[in-house]
Structure 1
Amino acid sequence: MLGLSRYQWTVLFAAWLGWGFDVFDGLLFNYVAPNCVPTLLGLEIGSPAAKSATLYWTGVLTSILLIGWAVGGVLFGWVCDRIGRTRTLLLTMAMYAFGTAACAFAQNIEMLIAFRIIASLGIGGEWAAGAAMVAEAVPEEKRVEAGALLYTAAPMGLFLATWVNMEVAGNWFKDSPETSWRYVFLFGLIPAVVAFLVRLFVHEPERWKAVAAVSTPPKLSELFAPGVRELTRSGFFMAVIALLTWWSCNAFIPTVAAGLGRANAESLGLDAAATRAMVEHWKTLAATYFNLGGLIGTLLTIPASKYLGRKAMFSIYWAVSAAAVLATFGLDLAPQWRLYGYFVIGLSVFGVFGSFTYYLPELFPTRLRGTGAGFCYNIGRIIAAGGPFLVGAIASQGAAAASSALSVLFYVGFIPLIGLLLMPWVIETRGRALAD
Structure 2
Amino acid sequence: MELLPDHAEFNAPAPAGVGRSDASVVEAEAGRIVAEVEALPLTPLHRLARVIVGSATFFDGFDVLAIAAALPVLIKLWSLSPEQVGIIISVGYLGQLIGSLGFSYLADKFGRLRCASLSVALFAFGSLACAFASGPASLMAYRFIQGLGLGGELPVAATYINELAKTEHRGRFVLFYELIFPIGLFAASLVGMWVVPNIGWQAMFFLGALPAFIALCMRRFLPESPRWLASKGRFREADAALDRFRKSGRSAHTTGQPAIAQQAHQPVVRQEQPATWRSLFRPPLLRRTFVLVSLWFAGGFVTAGVTAWMPTIYREVLHVDLATALKYGTYTSLAGIVGSAFCAIAIDRFGRRRWMTVTWLCTGFAMLAPIVFAPMTAAMTTFCISMAFGFAAAAFIGCYVYTPELYPTRIRTFGVGVSSAMLRLASIICPSMIGWFVARGTLSTSYVAIAGVAFFAALAVGLFGEETTGRTLEDTSSVPQPDQAA
* TM-score of the two chains, using structure 1 as the length reference: 0.83
| Partner residue, 2:464 | 425
2:341 aligned with 1:299, yes or no?
yes
**Any residues of structure 2 matched to 1:39-118 within 5 Å, and which?**
45=76, 50-51=78-79, 53=80, 55-118=82-145
Q: Identify the residue that residue 42 of structure 2 maps to in structure 1.
A: 4
CA deviation string 1:348-400 (max 9, x = no partner): 02222220111011111111110101111222422441222233234446xxx
Partners of 1:70 and 1:283 in 2: how far apart? Answer: 29
User: What are the superposed Cα offsets for residues 10-49 of structure 1, whole Å, 9 maximum, x if unpaired?
Assistant: 1111221111111212332332235557xxxxxxx55xxx
- Is the CA contact (8 Å cut-off) linking 1:135 and 1:143 kept in structure 2? yes
C-alpha distance in structure 1 between counterparts of 2:438 and 2:133, whole Å: 26
The answer to whether structure 1 residue 120 and structure 2 residue 147 are counterparts is yes
Deviation at 1:106, TM superposition (A): 3.4
User: Aligned partners of 2:351 and 2:299: how far apart in 1?
Assistant: 18
Match of 1:340 in 2: 383
User: Does residue 16 of the first structure (1) align with residue 43 of the second (2)?
Assistant: no
* Aligned-residue RMSD, C-alpha: 2.6
What amino acid is the match of 1:120?
G
In the TM superposition, residue 202 of structure 1 has moved relative to its aligned partner by: 0.9
Query: 1:302 deviation in Å?
Result: 3.2
* Gap regions ≥5 residues in structure 1: 38-44, 174-179, 263-277
- Out of 222, 243, 251, which is 1:202 matched to? 222
User: Which residue among 276, 280, 303 is the counterpart of 1:246?
Assistant: 303
TM-superposed deviation, 1:91: 0.5
Aligned pair 1:413/2:451, yes or no? Answer: yes
Q: Quick one: distance in 1 between partners of 2:143 and 2:309? A: 22
Instruction: Answer yes or no: is the 8 Å Cα contact 1:24–1:157 preserved in 2.
Output: yes
Higher helix share: 1
Distance across 1 between alignment mates of 2:64 and 2:205: 11
Q: Structure 1's 34 and 433: CA in aligned 2 closer, same or farther, altered over 3 A?
A: same
Once the two structures are superposed, the pairs formed by residues 136-155 of structure 1 within 5 Å of their partners are 136-155=163-182
Q: What per-residue deviation string (whole Å, max 9, x for no partner) do you get for residues 204-253 of structure 1? A: 01111111236899753232233322222221122222222332333441
Aligned equivalent of 1:349: 392
Count of aligned residue pairs for this structure pair: 396
Q: For structure 1, which segment, 28-37 or 324-333, has the greater mean C-alpha deviation from structure 2 after superposition?
A: 28-37
Whether 2:350 is the aligned partner of 1:308: answer yes
Equivalent of 1:187 in 204, 207, 220 = 207
**Which residue does the alignment assign to 1:273?**
none
Query: Mean alpha-carbon deviation: is it higher for 237-246 or for 361-370?
Result: 237-246
Structure 2 residue 240 is matched with structure 1 residue 220: no
Find the residue that maps to 2:398 and give its secondary structure.
helix
Matched, 1:159 2:201: no
* Deviations 1:244-302, CA, capped at 9 Å, x for gaps: 2332333441244347864xxxxxxxxxxxxxxx5334423432222122111112223
Distance 1:420 1:249 in 2: 19
In 2, are the aligned partners of 1:321 and 1:349 still within 8 Å (CA)?
A: yes
**2: CA distance, partners of 1:351 / 1:133:** 22
Determine if contact 2:182/2:340 at 8 Å carries over to the other structure.
Answer: no
The aligned counterpart of 1:318 is 360
Alpha-carbon distance between aligned partners in 1 of 2:72 and 2:380, rounded to the nearest angstrom: 29
Aligned partner of 1:130 in structure 2 is: 157
Q: Does the CA contact (< 8 Å) of 1:77 and 1:373 recur in 2?
A: yes
Q: Which moved more, 1:278-287 or 1:297-306?
A: 278-287
- Amino acid across the alignment from 2:45: Y
Q: Could you list the per-position Cα deviations for residues 75-134 of structure 1 after superposition, in whole angstroms to 9, with x for gaps in the alignment?
A: 111111111111111000000001110223334544333222111011001011111111
Q: Is the 8 A contact 2:89 2:308 kept in 1?
A: no
What TM-score do the two structures reach when normalised by structure 2?
Answer: 0.75
1: CA distance between counterparts of 2:155 and 2:383? 33
Instruction: State whether structure 2 residue 232 is matched by structure 1 residue 232.
Output: no
Unaligned runs of 5+ in 2: 1-40, 235-270, 479-486
- Per the alignment, do residues 417 and 197 of structure 1 end up closer, same or farther by CA in structure 2, a change over 3 Å counting? same
Matched AA of 1:419: A
Provide the C-alpha distance between the structure 2 equivalents of 1:286 and 1:238, rounded to a whole number of angstroms: 26
Deviant stretches of 4+, over 4 Å? 34-37, 214-219, 259-262
SS state of the match for residue 385, structure 1?
helix
> Which stretch of structure 1 is more off in the superposition, 184-193 or 355-364?
184-193
CA distance in 1, matches of 2:55, 2:368: 34
Farther off after superposition, 357-366 or 411-420: 411-420
Contact 1:218 1:367 in 2 (8 A): yes
Checking the alignment, whether the CA contact within 8 Å between 2:437 and 2:443 is kept in structure 1 is yes
Range moving further from structure 2, 219-228 or 92-101: 219-228
- Separation in 1 of the partners of 2:351 and 2:383? 29
Q: Distance in 1 between matches of 2:73 and 2:456?
A: 39
- CA gap of 1:56–1:159, structure 2 versus 1, over 3 A, is same
Aligned AA for 2:329? A
Q: State the one-letter code of the partner of 1:220.
A: W
Q: What letter is aligned with 2:302?
A: T
Deviations 1:45-74 (A, max 9, x none): 55xxx43x2534321121111121111111
Which residue type is aligned with residue 352 of structure 2?
R
1:190 aligns to what SS in structure 2? coil
1:415 to 1:125, Cα distance in 2 relative to 1, 3 A? same
* Counterpart in the other structure of 2:418: 375
Offset of residue 303 of structure 1: 4.4
Q: Which moved more, 1:119-128 or 1:180-189?
A: 180-189
1:141 is paired with a residue whose SS is: coil
| Partners of 2:176 and 2:344 within 8 A in 1 | no
Query: Contact 1:261–1:282 (CA<8 Å) still a contact in 2?
Result: no
Q: Deviations over 1:144-183 (max 9, x none)?
A: 0122112222222123323444444322x3xxxxxx3334
Q: Decide whether the 8 Å contact of 2:276 with 2:410 is kept in 1.
A: no
- 1:289·1:342 contact (CA, 8 Å) conserved in 2? no
